Amino acid sequence: MKKVFLVIAALVMAVGAKAQIETPVKWSYAAKKVSATEAIVYLKASIQNGWHIYSQTVKDGGPVKTSFTFTPSKDYSPVGKTLEPKPISKYEDVFKMNVGYFEKEVVFSQKIKLKSAKASAVDGKVEFMVCNNSKCLPPDEVAFSIPLGK
């Protein structure tokens, strides 16, 4: 009976260890109304030391670039492209190309046209891939809902 308990305990510990998922990127959000008909939403990635995420402008054949999809709404619409600061650019042998990426933290911003006074939040998702010097994690997708405030 004692052996069965030890085997079960070992299996539970092994499954628990495997279930730990690495999440080196944390996302946070904010919004600022600049007028009755316009707002700017900010999407901030806080990235653990040693890791990086890729720019929105990575060319085909490279890593998965960061991309934002805004949920269609009758209350608001994105205006233009999502802006980002200038990325670090480096040749990556794995992809045989220069790629742009961000370390530590990066804030993306998106201008939003408010079509209705009822617009209370901007919804969507961000897709990104995070890598360090030895590996890349599979691309991840995170949903967001950014309150617009008053």
Mean pLDDT estimate for the chain: 88
User: Could you give phi then psi for residue 20, rounded to 5 degrees?
Assistant: -70, 120
Tell me the residue type at 123: D
Report the largest interatomic distance among the alpha carbons of the chain, rounded to a whole angstrom: 71
pTM of the predicted protein model: 0.84
68-74 average pLDDT score: 97
Domains, the chain, in order of start with CATH, read: 24-147 (2.60.40.1250)
Q: How confident is the model at residue 38 (pLDDT cuts 50, 70, 90)?
A: very high
Q: Could you tell me which of 78, 79, 143, 148 has the C-alpha nearest to residue 120?
A: 148
